Structure 1
Amino acid sequence: MSFAPEAIKAAIAAQRATVEHLFDRLAQGSQGEPGIMRDTYGAGENFAHRLVAAHGADARLRVSHDAAANTYLTWPGSESSAPRILIGSHLDSVPHGGNFDGAAGVVAGLAAIAALRELGLQPRCNVTVMGIRAEESVWFEVSYIGSRSALGTLPDSALEARRIDTGRSLADHIDTCGGDSQAIRKGDRELDPAGIRAFLEVHIEQAPSLFDAGLPLAICSGIPGNFRYPNASITGRHDHVGTPRRFRHDAAMAGAEFAMALDRLWEEQEAAGIPLAITFGRFHTDAEVHGLTTVPGLFHFSLDVRAYDPAVLADTEKRMLAIISEIEARRKVRFELGRRASASVGMVDPAIASEMQDAATRLGIASTKLGSPASHDAAAFAAAGVPVGMIFVRNEHGSHNPREHMEIDDFLDACAVLASWIADHAA
C-alpha cells in the first residue's frame, strides 16, 4: 500500500516528541561517565531492553523475548504465516560510547510503525522491531551474539567466552539476564530465515562521510566481513638492554615489524582499489616485566582485519601467516595467535537497496550509496540467507565515543524512507 510522500513525512514528523523522549530516557538510564555504558548482558543493556519493552507494550505491540534475551515488539499482521518484516539493531554500547550507535535502529522501527498505524496501514505480515543483544564484540570478543543466537548460528564455544571485566562466562551472563543458554547450546532458534521477508537496520554512520558530503543519509551498499585474533602474543626472550642485536629475541621489534608489514599490505590493496581495514586494537609489551633497561621478551596484540570480499579476507590471512613465518625465523621469536574469530561478509540485497534509494528520491531526501566501514547485525542475517537493507544517518563525530551526534531531522528522514519501504511491502 503506497502513501503520498507528503503524508509519510508528516506522519513521521509527528513522532518527533516520542523519538526525542526515547533517546533522552536511554541516555539518562545508562550514563557511563563519560558517555554511555550499555554494557552487554549487564545493567546498562538491561535498562535499554526494559525501556523499549515498556514502550512497546504502551504502544499496543506484542512483546516477547527469546533464549538470548533479545526483545521483540510485534505489530501483528492479518496473515501470521506470511514472512515477517524485521527491523532492528543492538541496544548495547562500547564502554563510554555514544547514545545513538545501535539504539537508533530500534527507535526508527518504533517510529515507522507508529507513523504507519496513524496512516491507517493494515499489514498483511507481522512487522517486528527487534532489540538485539550483544552486538558490541568488545565485551566478550565474539561477534553478533544476539542475532546469531536468534538465528541458531552462534558457535557453541562462544558460550564459554568470558566478559572482559567480570570474567564470567557468556552463558552465565545470558542466564542472569533472563535468557536460556542451554537452549542456545542445543541449537534452538527463535528466527527461521525462511520466515523473514527482510531485515532492515537504521544506523548512524561511523565515519563522517555523510557529514563531509553534506547529505543526511545513505543507503548501505555492503557490510564487511572480518577475521580477528583478540588475544595474540609474540614470545622472545627477556635480555639486558645492552645485548647486541645478533643475540636478541626481541618480541617488541617483531611486533613492530609485523604491524608495518601489514600496513604495507593494506597500502598495496588500497592502491589497487580493494577496500580493506587492518587494526591493531591492543599493542603492548608485558606490563609486569617491561622496563627501560629490558629487551622485551613478550609482546601482546589484538588484530582485526575486515573486507567486503571473502576472497580478499582469505588472501590477506594467507599472506599474513607467511609474514609471521618469515619474522619468526629471522627474529628468533614465536607468534601465538590464540583464538580466532570471524564474521561473514554482509551482502546487502540489491533490490531492497534500490527500492530504498527510490523511496528517498520520492520523498525529496538527498542520499547516496555508502559501504559500511563497520560490522552490523544485518551481516548475521545476510549470512543466514535473509535479504537485508540498511540506512545510514549523518553523524559528525564518528561512533564508539561520547561525542556521537545525530540531528533528529536527519534521523526522521531515515525513518521516512524506512516507513515508505514497509508500506510498499507489508500490505
Structure 2
Amino acid sequence: MSALPAAAIALAGRLFEELRLHTTDEPGITRAAYGEGEEFAHALVRRAGLELGLHEAVDVAGNLYLTLPGEDPALPGWIIGSHIDSVPHGGNFDGAAGVLAGLAVVAALREEGRRLARDLTVMVIRAEESTWFPVSYLGSRAAFGLLPAEALETRRADTGRTLREHMEALGFDAEAVARGEAHLDPARIHGFVELHIEQGPVLEREDAALGLVTGIAGSFRYRKARCLGSYGHSGAVPRAYRQDAVVAFADLVAALETTWDGLEREGARATITFGEVGTDPAQHAFSKVPGEIGFCLDVRSESPAVLERIHGELMAQAAVIEQRRGVRFDFGEKTGSTPAILDASLRARFAASAAREGVRAVEMPSGAGHDTSVFANRGVSSALLFVRNQNGSHNPQEDMRLADFAEAVRVIRRAIAG
C-alpha cells in the first residue's frame, strides 16, 4: 500500500471547503450550469491548476482543460474529469469529487517528482445536470462537436434565457458550438477516467470504498407530459360519465409498475420514475373532478432493447387508458441518452490497482447518467469509479469521507502511472 503525499489530499479538502462556502444556497449548495456557482467553481479549479503548473485550455463551450505534460506529447493522453455544476440545493460532492480527484493525482505526482510518459489532463466539464437545460451531457457532447445546433435554443429552467444567451454572456462561442467545432479527438485520448460519488447505498452496505462501474444506463424522458380529461362537479357527475385525469394517470402508473415487475422477474434492470406530478392550481378544487394532470417520466436502463420495450408498453397502455377513461395523453417532447458499456480491460486495470493498494472494490452498474457515457460511445477506453457516499446524492445531506476519497485517488494514481 502506498501513501499519498499529505499535501495532495489537503489541497482537495481545501477546495471542497471553498466550494461549499461560496456556493451554499440553503438548504444545500447550488452551482447552476452556465451560472454564477459553476463559474466560481471553474475559476477556483483553474487557479489551483495553474498553481500546480498545469497548462490551461478552454474550448468553445467553456469546458476547462488543465494539462500536466508527459514525456512524449505525441502519445495519446489520459483525461481525468467530471462536471462541477449541481442540481438546485444539492450536495457539495456530486461531480466535484471527480474534478478534485484529478487535481489530487496531479499534486501527488508533482510532490513525488514523477513524470508520466503521456500527458495527463484534468477536465472540468460544463452543464452535466440536465435539470438546468433539458439536454443530456451538454458539455461533454460539445467537447466532441456533437451538440446539435438546436440545443442552443433550449431555455434554462430558472432564467428562461437560452443556452446560446448564457454561453455568449460568459464569452464562449455559441456559433462554433453550432458548427460542431470539436476540441477533443477520440484518437488522441488514451483513456478517460471519472470518479463520482455513488448515488445509492450499495458501497456503504457492501463495506467497500470503491465501485468499478460496468455500464451506464441510457434513458428516455418526457419532461412536460399531461393527461387531459374533463372538469366536472364532484357530486353531480356519475362514475360512468367521468373523464378523470388523475384516475387515468393512476392507471398509467399501475400499468408501468406491472411492466417493471415483469422485467425484474426476467432479470432485466430498469428504473421508472414519475418525478413530478400535479394538478393545475389555477383550476383544481376540492369539489371538482380533475380535468388535467401534469407529470414527468424518467425511464433508465443499460439495455436499449429494454428501453424500447418499456416505451412500447407506455404507448400501448396509454392508448388503452384513453379508450377506457375518455382522456387524452399528451407526452410532449421525448429526450434521452444512449446507454454505454465500459471498457472491461481498463476496469480490470483499476481492479488490479485497487488490490495492490489494499482498497476493497466491487463491480456494479450505474443507473444514473455520467459524462463517461459520451466518451465510451465515442470509442474512448473509459472507466467510471464510484466512491462510497453515506447519504445518496442530489440532496443537501450528500456526504463522502475524505479517507475514502484518498483511497480512490491512490487507486487512480497507481492505475495511470503504473
TM-score for the superposition, normalised by structure 2: 0.97
How far residue 250 of structure 1 moved from its aligned partner, in angstroms, is: 1.4
Unaligned runs of 5+ in 1: none
| Aligned with residue 125 of structure 1, among 118, 131, 135 | 118
Per the alignment, residue 30 of structure 1 pairs with: 23
Per the alignment, residue 315 of structure 2 pairs with: 321
Aligned to 1:164, what secondary structure does the other structure show? coil
Letter aligned with residue 171 of structure 2: G
The yes-or-no answer on 1:98 pairing with 2:98 is no
How far residue 174 of structure 1 moved from its aligned partner, in angstroms, is: 1.4
Aligned to 1:231, what secondary structure does the other structure show? strand
The yes-or-no answer on 1:206 pairing with 2:231 is no
How far residue 283 of structure 1 moved from its aligned partner, in angstroms, is: 1.0
Per the alignment, residue 72 of structure 2 pairs with: 79
CA RMSD of aligned residues (A): 1.2
Cα distance in 2 between the residues matched to 1:275 and 1:134: 27
Tell whether the 8 Å contact from 2:302 to 2:367 is kept in structure 1 after alignment.
no
Cα distance in 2 between the residues matched to 1:287 and 1:153: 40
More displaced stretch, 73-82 vs 164-173: 73-82
Per the alignment, residue 356 of structure 1 pairs with: 350
Tell me the alpha carbon deviations over residues 237-263 of structure 1, each in whole angstroms, 9 at most, x when there is no partner: 111212112211111111111111111
Say how many residue pairs are matched.
417
Map residues 273-284 of structure 1 onto 2, 5 A cutoff.
273-284=267-278
Per the alignment, residue 153 of structure 1 pairs with: 146
The yes-or-no answer on 1:263 pairing with 2:251 is no
Per the alignment, residue 253 of structure 1 pairs with: 247
More displaced stretch, 112-121 vs 19-28: 112-121
How far residue 378 of structure 1 moved from its aligned partner, in angstroms, is: 0.5
Aligned to 1:29, what secondary structure does the other structure show? helix
Cα distance in 2 between the residues matched to 1:260 and 1:179: 46
The yes-or-no answer on 1:374 pairing with 2:363 is no
Cα distance in 2 between the residues matched to 1:14 and 1:182: 42
Cα distance in 2 between the residues matched to 1:207 and 1:54: 32
| Aligned with residue 292 of structure 2, among 288, 298, 308 | 298
Tell me the alpha carbon deviations over residues 85-138 of structure 1, each in whole angstroms, 9 at most, x when there is no partner: 111100000000000000000000111112123333322322100111101111
Tell me the alpha carbon deviations over residues 328-374 of structure 1, each in whole angstroms, 9 at most, x when there is no partner: 11111111111111111121110011110011001111111121121
Letter aligned with residue 363 of structure 1: E
| Aligned with residue 38 of structure 2, among 18, 35, 45 | 45
Cα distance in 1 between the residues matched to 2:150 and 2:271: 27
Tell whether the 8 Å contact from 2:4 to 2:410 is kept in structure 1 after alignment.
no
Q: Percent same amino acid at aligned positions? A: 45
How far residue 14 of structure 1 moved from its aligned partner, in angstroms, is: 4.1
Cα distance in 2 between the residues matched to 1:252 and 1:53: 50
Cα distance in 2 between the residues matched to 1:215 and 1:68: 37
Letter aligned with residue 373 of structure 2: A
Letter aligned with residue 70 of structure 1: N
The yes-or-no answer on 1:113 pairing with 2:76 is no
Per the alignment, residue 407 of structure 1 pairs with: 401
Following TM superposition, where does structure 1 have runs of at least 4 consecutive aligned residues deviating by more than 3 angstroms? none
Map residues 384-423 of structure 1 onto 2, 5 A cutoff.
384-423=378-417
Cα distance in 1 between the residues matched to 2:75 and 2:282: 59
Cα distance in 2 between the residues matched to 1:14 and 1:21: 10
How far residue 156 of structure 1 moved from its aligned partner, in angstroms, is: 2.2
Cα distance in 2 between the residues matched to 1:328 and 1:156: 36
Per the alignment, residue 223 of structure 2 pairs with: 230
The yes-or-no answer on 1:188 pairing with 2:188 is no
Cα distance in 1 between the residues matched to 2:140 and 2:411: 24
More displaced stretch, 241-250 vs 54-63: 241-250
The yes-or-no answer on 1:219 pairing with 2:226 is no
Cα distance in 2 between the residues matched to 1:68 and 1:270: 40
How far residue 142 of structure 1 moved from its aligned partner, in angstroms, is: 1.4
Aligned to 2:4, what secondary structure does the other structure show? helix
Aligned to 2:339, what secondary structure does the other structure show? coil
